[in-house]
Amino acid sequence: MGEYDDIMDRPHHVSRRHPRMTMLNRAAQFSPFAALTGFGAEIIEAARETERWIELSEEEKAVISERLGQLAKRLPAEASVTWFIHDARKEGGRYVTRDVRIKQILPAEGRIVLAGGENIDMDELLDVELPGPEGRQAIERRDL
């Protein structure tokens, strides 16, 4: 005779105050927990890739400067601009290409002011493509 034989055939107790727990909720009591809070987010952040900033040659800078000069004569002007945005959390960043409306070009301050108020640092420019047939060719860049 076993130690619990006297209670083995008794009916299961059903509480009048507490509803019966679902199998899912019972299983959740025993599931693993995040002992290292935020560790998953850190792993995702470390895996996130960024691009490196490309340093332009003097010839490439001259082409951009010339195109900005052409745009400055007809402000406000439309252009397709590619520039680098530094990542706030890690080294590197990403390049963004957008069709924009340029409101002002401020060479003394080294920035371009867009119609929406956003500023682009001229040092971060990778390409400026003018509208129309004269601007459809992107700057030829060497592979880095």
Residue 84 to residue 126: CA distance in whole angstroms = 7
Residue with the two structure tokens 């560790």: 39
In order of 30, 46, 54, the CA distances from 127 in angstroms are: 56, 29, 11
Report pLDDT digits (tens) over 34-68.
677 788 888 888 888 999 999 999 999 999 999 99
Q: How confident is the model at residue 133 (pLDDT cuts 50, 70, 90)?
A: low
Residue 122 near residue 110 (C-beta atoms within 8 A)? yes
Output the average pLDDT for the chain: 86
Distance from the Cα of residue 40 to its chain's centroid: 18
Q: Where are the domains of the chain?
A: 58-135
CATH of domain 58-135: 2.30.30
pLDDT digits (tens, 9 = 90+) for 2-46: 898 888 889 888 899 999 889 998 888 887 766 777 888 888 888
